[in-house]
């Protein structure tokens, strides 16, 4: 680019380029490298390019990880992804969430924040994790809307089978980790979750981050009502949202799931009495509590829906299904208008067992300024 073009104009042009081009252009000139590597540019870079990452690990086989460009060419443009060592070390992980192009994964007291676009990851050791007959630990992840700083929130809550009246205090109830400081601290807000709140407590997944706010499905043990608990990664305020009456009283918390669809909260209801073949998809209207609109119902008469694992940017759900013969499971995409499914050519089910994940993410430069193989342990970089 000509030296006669002012640097601020060059910056406006550069910020519209895809991440892969930006990584290459860092070697063009010192001024471009300095610009692209700056914390301000990294934090505020936004790409519209969306991807769907599929990770399939069947025991006795090497992991299969592919990233598919999620646009009108889907699923033609796919590339194999090499997992970073920090992700491989997690083994069978729980997905805490995705936010601003970062994936957050957890297993056995360690969180890994991963940017699959630039193939970089950092690990965070979570302190004071408890899973006892008295307390449990819940986690959430998101990126601050104002600063672009990734955060992890850790909540210590009373175990669902414990009599809460016998617990007078909860030690270190809420702690927040901020990547820029590499340290855990108390949140800026003092409105902590009530003792009566029971989080969903699923082993394979937690909540979901939508536009910098993390959501958990929860139950109030005092009223036995289902609800949604939120944590804003910018203000660090907790919030509560009531669900529509049919979800509060009639649905079991185990039949409800939440997802992020185009930065809107989506609620999926599983109709267990219909032989695992029917799911209903609802979307929250403009963030208003109790205002959910039904988008469509999924019914596959010739297959069993094991689970909805993710949503495409178009709104089509990505699902794991098993054929009626019960011999094989596949990753498919459901088209709500035609009610047809398309196979993504990824065999999932084997007799040996294993695990499968799908993550939707956009391209980002976050973590570009972090050293490779960084591990944060008690505020100390290792």
Model confidence pLDDT, tens digit, residues 59-115: 656 678 999 999 989 999 999 999 999 998 888 888 899 999 999 999 999 999 999
Output the pLDDT for position 160.
73
Please say if the pLDDT value at position 242 is more than 60.
yes
> Rounded distance, CA 153 to CA 175, Å?
6
pLDDT > 70? residue 163: yes
Does the structure show a pLDDT above 70 at 246? yes
pTM of the model: 0.90
Please identify which residue in the block is written with the tokens 């990584």. Answer: 23
CA 87, CA 121: separation in Å to the nearest integer? 8
Contact 157, 138 (CB under 8 A): yes
- Residue carrying structure tokens 């991440």: 19
Q: For residue 167, what pLDDT band results from cuts at 50, 70 and 90? A: confident
Tokens 């340290």 correspond to 183
Cβ contacts of 316-320, under 8 Å, gap ≥ 24: 317/279, 317/281, 318/52, 318/344, 318/358, 320/348, 320/356
Cβ atoms of residues 319 and 303 within 8 Å: no
CA atoms within 13 A on the CB side of 135: 18
Q: What is the mean pLDDT of residues 290-316?
A: 88
Instruction: Pull the structure tokens for residue 143.
Output: 């990126």
Tokens of 183: 């340290």
pLDDT at 34 over 80: yes
Q: What is the pLDDT of residue 354?
A: 66
pLDDT higher for 275 or 6?
6
Q: What six digits make up the tokens of 347?
A: 């065999």
CA distance readout (Å), 325 to 331, 333, 337, 364:
16, 20, 27, 42
What percentage of the chain carries pLDDT values higher than 70?
88
The residue ranking higher by pLDDT, 119 or 325, is 119
Q: Which two tokens stand for residue 176?
A: 């927040």
Residue 350 pLDDT greater than 60, yes or no: no
Q: What is the pLDDT of residue 303?
A: 82
Q: Would you call 63 helix, strand, or coil by DSSP?
A: coil
The predicted model gives 113-142 an average pLDDT of: 90
Tokens standing for residue 167 = 């617990």
Measure the CA–CA gap between 141 and 366, rounded to whole angstroms. 14
Q: Which DSSP symbol is given to 49?
A: -
Mean pLDDT of 148-176: 83
Sign of CA pseudo-dihedral 253, 257, 260, 262: negative
Nearest to 268 by CA among 327, 334, 203, 322: 334
Quote the tokens at residue 336.
Answer: 């709500």
Radius of gyration of the chain (CA): 21
Average pLDDT over residues 52-61: 78
Q: How confident is the model at residue 250 (pLDDT cuts 50, 70, 90)?
A: low
pLDDT mean over 310-331 = 86
Residue 52 scores a pLDDT above 80: yes
354-362 vs 374-377, strand pairing mode:
unpaired
Q: What strands lie across the sheet with 380-381, from one edge to the other?
A: 94-99, 102-107, 110-115, 120-125, 374-377, 380-381
Q: Are 320 and 309 within 8 A, CB to CB?
A: yes
- The pair phi, psi for residue 213, each rounded to 5°, is -120, 130
The number of beta carbons lying within 10 Å of the beta carbon of residue 154 is 20
H helical segments located in the chain: 7-14, 19-25, 30-37, 39-44, 85-88, 245
DSSP label at 71?
S
Q: For the CA atoms of 31, 144, 54, 89, what is the dihedral angle to 10 degrees?
A: 90
- Three-state secondary-structure class, residue 59: coil
Q: Is the pLDDT of residue 352 over 60?
A: no
Query: Length of the chain, please?
Result: 382
Longest dimension (CA), the chain: 72
């Amino acid at each position: 680019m000509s030296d006669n073009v002012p640097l601020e104009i060059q910056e406006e042009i550069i910020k519209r380029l895809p991440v892969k081009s930006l990584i290459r252009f860092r070697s063009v000139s010192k001024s471009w490298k300095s610009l692209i590597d700056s914390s301000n540019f990294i934090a505020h870079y936004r790409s519209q390019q969306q991807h769907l990452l599929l990770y399939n690990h069947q025991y006795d086989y090497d992991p299969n990880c592919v990233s598919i460009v999620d646009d009108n060419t889907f699923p033609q443009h796919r590339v194999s992804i090499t997992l970073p060592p920090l992700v491989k070390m997690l083994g069978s992980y729980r997905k805490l969430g995705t936010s601003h192009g970062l994936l957050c994964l957890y297993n056995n007291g360690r969180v890994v924040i991963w940017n699959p676009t630039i193939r970089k990851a950092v690990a965070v050791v979570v302190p004071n994790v408890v899973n006892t007959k008295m307390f449990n630990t819940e986690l959430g992840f998101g990126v601050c809307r104002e600063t672009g700083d990734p955060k992890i929130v850790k909540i210590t809550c009373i175990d669902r089978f414990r009599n809460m009246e016998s617990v007078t205090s909860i030690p270190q109830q809420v702690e927040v980790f901020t990547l820029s400081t590499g340290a855990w601290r108390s949140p800026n807000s003092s409105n902590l979750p009530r003792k009566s709140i029971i989080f969903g407590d699923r082993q394979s997944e937690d909540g979901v981050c939508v536009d910098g706010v993390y959501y958990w499905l929860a139950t109030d043990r005092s009223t036995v009502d289902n609800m949604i608990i939120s944590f804003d990664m910018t203000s660090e305020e907790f919030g509560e949202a009531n669900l529509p009456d049919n979800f509060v009283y009639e649905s079991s918390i185990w039949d409800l799931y939440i997802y992020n669809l185009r930065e809107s909260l989506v609620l999926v209801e599983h109709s267990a009495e219909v032989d695992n073949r029917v799911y209903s998809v609802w979307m929250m209207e403009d963030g208003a509590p109790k205002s959910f609109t039904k988008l469509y119902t999924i019914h596959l008469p010739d297959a069993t829906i094991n689970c909805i694992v993710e949503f495409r940017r178009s709104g089509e759900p990505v699902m794991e299904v098993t054929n009626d013969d019960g011999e094989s499971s596949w990753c498919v995409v459901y088209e709500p208008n035609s009610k047809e499914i398309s196979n993504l050519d990824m065999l999932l089910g084997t007799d040996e067992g294993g695990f499968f994940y799908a993550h939707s993410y956009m391209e980002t430069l976050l973590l570009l300024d972090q050293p490779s193989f960084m591990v944060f342990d008690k505020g100390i970089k290792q």
